[in-house]
Structure 1
Amino acid sequence: MSDLSDLPPGRPWWHAAAHPAPALLVALALWGWAMTHTDVSDLDDFGLVTALHPTFWAGLALLTVGFWVTLRGPRRHPAWAPAYVVGLLVMERATQAVLYPTPLYAWAWKHDAVVDHLLTAGRLENADAIGDMAVYDQWPGFFAAQAALVRLLGVDSAAQFMAWWPLVCGLMLLLPLLLLYRTFTEDRRLIWTGVWIFCVANWVGQDYFSPQSVAFALHLGVLAVVLRRYGRPGQSAARQRQAVWTVLVVAVVITHQLTPGMLIVSLAALFLTRRYRDKVPLVTTVVIFLAWCLTAALPFLSAALPDMIRSIGDIGGNVSTGYGATPTGTGAVTTSWVARLLSASVLLLAVVGVLRQPVLRHRAMPLLLIAAAPLPMLGASSYGSEMIFRVLMFMLPGAAFFAAAALLPQVRTLTAMERTSRTEPRRYGWLPLLALLAGTLAFVPSYSGKDRISYFPPAEVDLVRQVVDQAPDASLVVAADRNYPLAFADYWRVDHYWFLDDDREHVDAIVRDPAATLARDMSAVESPGRAYLLFSRGQFADSEMNGLLTTGQLDRIRQSVDASPLFERVAGNDAGVAYVLKETGR
């Protein structure tokens, strides 16, 4: 192959470096314009998709095209690829934080309550003191760190910054991803296209304020450090790397229940290869995990073990429970299928990349193993109906790398790539670009299509806070389901109960005779505690869109309670209403 001496002289470096700027700046300007012209006060069943101003979609499309063109330019400054990816993360993960005045996701509010408990109690507590919520005190890593952050920032609670956690999480994942990918290639197109695909395919919603978000980043960090240890044999820094991944393993184990298991199966898969057959990382992780399970986490595992054993091997049941609710309505069904098709497309592209790039397949075999390793976990547990989504997420780093390989010409060394990129047929660039653009746009309905369920307006937050603040110790707050903000607020002194969690027979009894049945359920609360019944916008949206109860059924329950002499209205606004069971109703 000839050298580069026959090529025309290049332009000055500053000209090539500045060229990608207009597309990036215009895309971000369009995003900013969309943020000031989008109204989220009346979301429909498509969530944020139909609410977004058209300039958002134009900006996202321009950003994708600019990234693709910039990355394929052989003389582009290397800083532009990460600049475009950060721009993507801002448009993907910061949009909701900018548009919504309150944090999304009932689970994020639940985790805020756990942090608040640690700050209030000043210590970890067991089930005798806080019941089922003690499980979070048995894996306290994330919550203890957030409690420390709340103190450090001097804010009242984590709710004041947790809306920005998805963006923080996205940025946090970049370093381990880059370390992983750079272990197997120096082709910057492959590396950054893989990162881009990972970002747009990671729609499963585990980047909210949660232990999983941090544990997943730590998981990738362990794999990156372990794999780079083998990629740099004989270096004096081997002991330092071992110390780093050991610390990361400990952090994973004390932060999350599932992630250590995923890490173990990934390390076990690497152990099957000849080059990476080192038992030290695998054995160390197993020992640390077992030590934690047999000490701090033993109370929870002792209670949960029978159900865990029953679910082993039930792949069909574990997968089907991931779709236990039934999406109802055009918007919910459409966005659900868009999300599934996005994941399926990335996995299909990954298969194409494996078949199309034999050299890369051989060199990056560990990434292929990492992508396949989580699959056996489908036979281990349903993990509260979420195992299929967690498996997809843990497969994604490896799958995104090979999916990127499917969109690129033959991947060789960086020098060879630069030589061939000038003679690559121009027609080749359109189909991969369209695929990348389609995946990028599909992220929005996949990630934000259920925002009607996930968004709680300030009035709903105020309503729930008013109920919790007035509730005496040992009170009970009853609601249809837990999809509302502060659903676990003050759980160490106030109990919470959601009647849609009961068996269908009891739910049907409530639908037939709402006020009398609910009054009987709530009558066991002893004085000075009170029993409150809460109806809010988030409950109605979740119940309707997931096929639990219709809006009409919930309205009849509310109207029955409102007309009953057993209940008294104590709070209400545009987002909902709350009642208290009268003393005569006990």
Structure 2
Amino acid sequence: MWSAAGLAGAMGLWAYAVGHTDVGKLDDFGLVTALHPAFWAGLAVLTAGFWCTLVNSRRRHPAWAPAYLVGLLAMERATQAVLYPTPLYAWAWKHDAVIDHLLTAGRLQGSDALGDMAVYDQWPGFFAAQATLVRLLGVDSAAQFMAWWPLVSSLMLLLPLLLIYRTFTEDRRLVWTAVWLFYVANWVGQDYFSPQSVAFALHLGVLAVVLRRYAAPRTPDARSRAAVWTVVLTLFVVGIVISHQLTPGMLVICLAALFCARRYRDRVPLVTTVVIFLAWCLTAALPFLSATMPDMLRSVGDIGGNVETGYGATPTGTGAITTSWAARLLSASVILLAALGAWRQPVLRHRALPLLLLALAPLPMFAASSYGSEMIFRVLMFMLPGAAFFAAAALLPQVRTLTATELNPRTRQRRYTWLPLAALLAGTLAFVPSYSGKDRISYFPPAEVHLVQQVFDRAPAGSLVVAADRNYPLAYADYWRVDHYWFLDDSRAHVDTILRNPAATLATDMSAVESPARAYLVLSQGQYADSEMNGLLTKAQLDRIRASVAASPLFERVAGNEAGVAYVLKETAR
């Protein structure tokens, strides 16, 4: 009765909050300050109700824990889809453009036709699957459903997580607390519409199969079914390898770490993964790897540089700095809790040693590459399944492994009810600023989408679209027929030249376009937000560029609304 009331109350508060939240004017704290206070109350009620169902698990139906967890995913992963009328994240819009290309071209193409964007045709698994889904659903593009992908991809992780955790314990409190901590600590944001979201789910699927079906000693019956599980494992690995560059490397490291444990000496998973990975790298992915290998080799061993490119960014403003530190503290807290849990629970540490190895295995990737300034975030994400398990153990007075079935009642003290609840509540609340604190950058209102769409609707083939940076919707639209240039990617010296004489410098940069193609300049809300919050250019500097172009006889305004403006370079200026 109380479990139902708590869940219903939390969902009711969430529904009320969503109906009374205005996202029209986001500040530097993103969605955090825009949310109605009822949202925070609902999240607190949900967390408290979840913990109470675990503390009194013998008097509660086992379905309540997963029910509360689904409620958590709805509040944390679906709120944005409900509130925002357009999909978040410039990267999601980029991936939609890749799918549009596959649907338009009907085949994969190389760098001679696509330039740098050909890399997506060399890892087409995710995009080909989504293109098929677009056709099956009969929608115009993936933009019509990709806003809900964070919820879908998060649900995809649930089954493999449960299988992994239940390999080492039958304690429902430990399993569900670990799953809860995993979700609230996974703020990195790779659950959006991306190949990484699916590759990570498949990665956990491979680990679940290996942990449950390849442990030694194996019974004769298990050996007879090994071929079936090898086929399943192979399908998962192929799905990973053809979809994402980084995940296969992470999987190889994790499987190698498990192979070092005495219980997982079967070579089949590791050898299968390595063979499939190398086969793809030496065939379909070879053009990309050949071009990028020198840079990749230069970054090997440069741990400081690889980490600095991620956490070395310079967010500006109180909101950006605060949300950045909230994310760091959340990750650090979970890692410290995991260390405490491993220290406090020696029996569990021995029994679940493979999970401890999986938590540590991604760390060497710091020395491998910066991965476009994101390696530190990806390492944290791949560490989480193992780290969350031991962090959950730190919150429980005593846990039950598969070989220890009784709990000592003397450990059931009052402090073990309230202190863990406080920690769980703090982590759950901290997820929101960590995950949604940069929504001012990530959200593009319908007016901005309409503005950019107007430009591409009128741009002839071979045209050039120029912008401050790529943080705007449809930034990669029609990339197979229209070129793109973002002047903040240039050297600081050239950016300073643009700031000194914006209109003339930009006109020179755009003048190489040959008729009948045209050169367009787009300045929009998303570019302003990204530039200001990441310390690139100030609003005053961007306004100066906009005013100079508006007053210049070299440019003509072709579109504009409250979200931005677009200009075309006049024919006489070329």
Contact 2:463-2:513 within 8 A present in 1 as well: yes
Shift of 1:323: 3.0
Superposition map of 1:25-44 within 5 A: 25-44=8-27
Q: Deviations over 1:449-473 (max 9, x none)?
A: 0000000000000000000110000
The residue aligned with 1:468 is 456
| Match of residue 88, structure 2, among 93, 101, 104 | 104
| Match of residue 295, structure 1, among 258, 279, 283 | 283
| Match of residue 506, structure 1, among 484, 494, 499 | 494
Contact 1:325-1:548 within 8 A present in 2 as well: no
Distance 1:324 1:516 in 2: 34
Matched, 1:352 2:340: yes
Distance 2:403 2:35 in 1: 43
Matched, 1:89 2:89: no
Contact 1:103-1:159 within 8 A present in 2 as well: yes
Letter in 2 for 1:133: M
Q: Which secondary structure state, in structure 1, belongs to the residue aligned with residue 513 of structure 2?
A: coil
| Match of residue 444, structure 2, among 453, 456, 461 | 456
Distance 2:407 2:304 in 1: 49
Distance 1:413 1:282 in 2: 27
Q: Which secondary structure state, in structure 2, belongs to the residue aligned with residue 309 of structure 1?
A: helix
Letter in 2 for 1:42: K
Aligned residues: CA RMSD: 1.2
Matched, 1:244 2:232: yes
Superposition map of 1:384-463 within 5 A: 384-413=372-401, 420=408, 424-463=412-451
Distance 1:192 1:323 in 2: 31
The residue aligned with 1:220 is 204
Q: Deviations over 1:528-563 (max 9, x none)?
A: 110000000000000000000000000000100000
Q: Which secondary structure state, in structure 1, belongs to the residue aligned with residue 520 of structure 2?
A: strand
Contact 1:479-1:534 within 8 A present in 2 as well: yes
Distance 2:411 2:453 in 1: 64
Shift of 1:278: 2.0
| Match of residue 4, structure 2, among 21, 24, 31 | 21
Shift of 1:274: 1.5
* Unpaired stretches in structure 2, ≥5 consecutive residues: none
The residue aligned with 1:14 is none
Matched, 1:377 2:365: yes
Letter in 1 for 2:18: M
Shift of 1:127: 0.6
Letter in 2 for 1:134: A
Contact 2:26-2:439 within 8 A present in 1 as well: yes
Letter in 1 for 2:485: Y
Matched, 1:362 2:350: yes
| Match of residue 329, structure 1, among 317, 324, 338 | 317
Letter in 2 for 1:435: A
Letter in 1 for 2:481: R
Matched, 1:133 2:121: no
Letter in 1 for 2:369: S
Shift of 1:325: 3.1
Letter in 2 for 1:275: R
Distance of aligned partners of 1:421 and 1:496 in 2 relative to their CA distance in 1, 3 Å threshold:
farther
Q: Deviations over 1:28-86 (max 9, x none)?
A: 00000000000000000000000000000000000000000001112211111111110
Q: Which secondary structure state, in structure 2, belongs to the residue aligned with residue 487 of structure 1?
A: coil
The residue aligned with 2:55 is 72
Matched, 1:485 2:469: no
How many residues are paired up? 569
Distance of aligned partners of 1:415 and 1:244 in 2 relative to their CA distance in 1, 3 Å threshold:
closer
Q: Deviations over 1:131-155 (max 9, x none)?
A: 1100000000000000000001110
Shift of 1:405: 0.3
* Unpaired stretches in structure 1, ≥5 consecutive residues: 1-17
Shift of 1:426: 2.0
The residue aligned with 1:312 is 300
Shift of 1:421: 5.6
The residue aligned with 1:171 is 155
Contact 2:259-2:265 within 8 A present in 1 as well: yes
Matched, 1:146 2:130: yes
| Match of residue 564, structure 2, among 542, 553, 576 | 576
Contact 2:397-2:411 within 8 A present in 1 as well: no
Contact 2:351-2:401 within 8 A present in 1 as well: no
Contact 1:472-1:528 within 8 A present in 2 as well: yes
Distance 1:421 1:413 in 2: 16
Matched, 1:51 2:38: no
Contact 2:400-2:407 within 8 A present in 1 as well: no
Shift of 1:264: 0.4
Distance 2:63 2:403 in 1: 18
Contact 2:466-2:486 within 8 A present in 1 as well: yes
Letter in 2 for 1:283: V
The residue aligned with 1:562 is 550
Matched, 1:516 2:504: yes
The residue aligned with 2:186 is 202
Distance 2:406 2:480 in 1: 62
The residue aligned with 2:141 is 157
Shift of 1:422: 8.7
Distance 2:116 2:473 in 1: 19
The residue aligned with 2:538 is 550
Q: Deviations over 1:284-338 (max 9, x none)?
A: 1111101100100011001000000000000000000003431000000000000
Q: TM-score, normalised on structure 2?
A: 0.98
Q: Deviations over 1:184-231 (max 9, x none)?
A: 111110000000000000000100000000000000100110110135
Q: Deviations over 1:269-289 (max 9, x none)?
A: 111112212222111111110
Shift of 1:418: 6.6
Distance 1:361 1:90 in 2: 33
Contact 1:183-1:231 within 8 A present in 2 as well: no
Distance of aligned partners of 1:288 and 1:416 in 2 relative to their CA distance in 1, 3 Å threshold:
closer
Q: Which secondary structure state, in structure 1, belongs to the residue aligned with residue 206 of structure 2?
A: helix
